[in-house]
Amino acid sequence: MELKQALILILAGAAGTCGFSLLFRLRKKLIPCAVIGAVLTLVVYVICLRFLHHAFFQNLFPALFGALYAEIAAKVTKSPATQYLACAIIPLVPGGGLYYTMYHFVTGDMASFHTQLTQTARTAAGLAVGIILISVLVHQWRYRSLKTIFEEE
Amino acid sequence: MAQPAFPVEDVLSFAMDLGKSMIRCGAEISRVEETVVRICRAYGMQQTDVFSIVSVIVATTRDPSGKETTQSRRIYSYATNFMQLEKLNALSRRVCADPADPATAREELDKINSDPVRLHPTACIGYILGASAFTVFFGGSWKDALAAAPIAVILWLIGSLVKVHGMSKLFVTALSSATAGFLALGFVRLGLADNASMIMIGDIMLIIPGLMLIHSVREMLCGDLMSGLLRLLESLILALAIACGFAIPILIFG
């Protein structure tokens, strides 16, 4: 991917995240922090696109980074990590893939349907696994305390 | 046996309503279950068992005298609203730290819930910015981005009307995508834009349940199987509705 293309991707992704943060009714003070997270995640994504060739890994590493950023930003600004996470992940969300999958299904192009479905599933799995790895690592103490809460007599 | 400070019914009722409000703002199921348990414990309940999926919360709690209460809540719709979710979280934390009278806590909850509805004018700017930026993101030209903006406004209007009239989410999603498809093709026919499919993808980013798909996989991997499955099914059905909506203009004008 050319540098110019990559820059357009990152800038457009940042603007889009800005729009979605308004849509999600994110508190105005937190928007800059959320957009910075999306930009950095996109940088990681562009690098992964260049060097990795499997959709799962292309999305796993940006998701790892985005989730880690969200946890740190949440600690710094003392607000829930979910908001930063959603904003960082939004540009990577397989909206186009999901659409093409269903589109090919409706038009009856089963070969393309299958390709798109696999690609979308890999992307979603990569993002989800990345997010979970971080939340398990970061919140180990929290899950432990949760378990005691639920099972304590 | 010690009597709890407040009736078990009132405590559970407040905890459940808070949980319901959290789901309506787009909270994860694990967070909702945790909140209900924590609040009941803060009020001195002995044991609380809670099960929740995106449409239902069921919980049973036992007070120190051994009296048990079960309540349930049904959730019909939800949308992401971080500002409200943050307030609900803060309220939950405050109540856990200092369990006030459930009636007072409920007043605060009602105040948070009475905040203006989700489709606020700022959301309109969000729609325009999101649609135009993602049109470029997926490879559209600047002209395409400009064309995506008025379509985004129309999608916002359709969304606002739904909030007022309470129409089926599925139908509205299909209607939105069909409208966006007709307009995108129209702009290209008039020579105002270059690539209809890029405009369409930019605009469907607003209505496609992509984030819901990620959340569903995440919930399933975390062990909330039922909730994750329901979310997965819903996001696939919504994507199907979007594809059907777009199929109409494409089949007509191809």
List phi, psi (to 5°) of B53.
-125, 180
- In whole angstroms, give the CA distance from residue B125 to residue B196: 22
Cβ atoms of A2 and A23 within 8 Å: the answer is no
User: Which chain A residues contact residue B83 at CB under 8 A?
Assistant: 25-27
- In whole angstroms, give the CA distance from residue B184 to residue B200: 6
Give percent of chain A above pLDDT 90: 41
Does residue B169 surpass a pLDDT of 60?
yes
pLDDT class of B1 with cuts at 50, 70, 90? very low
A37-62 residue pLDDT tens: 999 999 999 999 889 889 999 999 99
Mean pLDDT score of chain A = 85
- In whole angstroms, give the CA distance from residue B161 to residue B156: 9
Domain edges within chain B: 8-113, 121-253
- Identify how many contiguous H helices and E strands chain A contains and give both numbers: 7, 0
**Partner B contacted by A123 (CB < 8 A):** no
Cβ atoms of B45 and B8 within 8 Å: the answer is yes
Q: Quick one: pLDDT at residue B248?
A: 87
Find all residues with CB under 8 Å of A64, minimum gap 6, and list them: A130, A133, A134
Nearest to B210 among A15, A18, A98 (CB): A98
One-letter amino acid identity for B193? A
Could you tell me which chain B residue has the CA closest to the CA of A127? B214
Assign residue B139 a region (left: φ > 0; alpha: ψ between -120 and 50; beta: otherwise): left
Does residue B119 surpass a pLDDT of 60?
no
Does residue A1 surpass a pLDDT of 80?
no
- In whole angstroms, give the CA distance from residue B178 to residue B183: 9
Strand duo B56-62 + B47-52: pairing: antiparallel
Q: Is A91 helix (H, G, I), strand (E, B) or coil?
A: helix
- In whole angstroms, give the CA distance from residue B113 to residue B111: 5
For the stretch B113-118, contacts whose Cβ atoms lie closer than 8 Å and that sit 24 or more positions apart, written own/partner, are: B113/B21, B113/B84, B115/B83, B115/B84, B115/B87, B117/B163, B118/A25, B118/B79, B118/B81, B118/B163
Give percent of chain B above pLDDT 90: 29
Which of A 29-68 lie inside 8 A of B, CB atoms? Answer: none
* Residues paired with A69 in a beta bridge: none
Q: Quick one: pLDDT at residue A97?
A: 83
Find all residues with CB under 8 Å of A92, minimum gap 6, and list them: A41, A42, A45, A59, A62, A63, A66, A123, A127
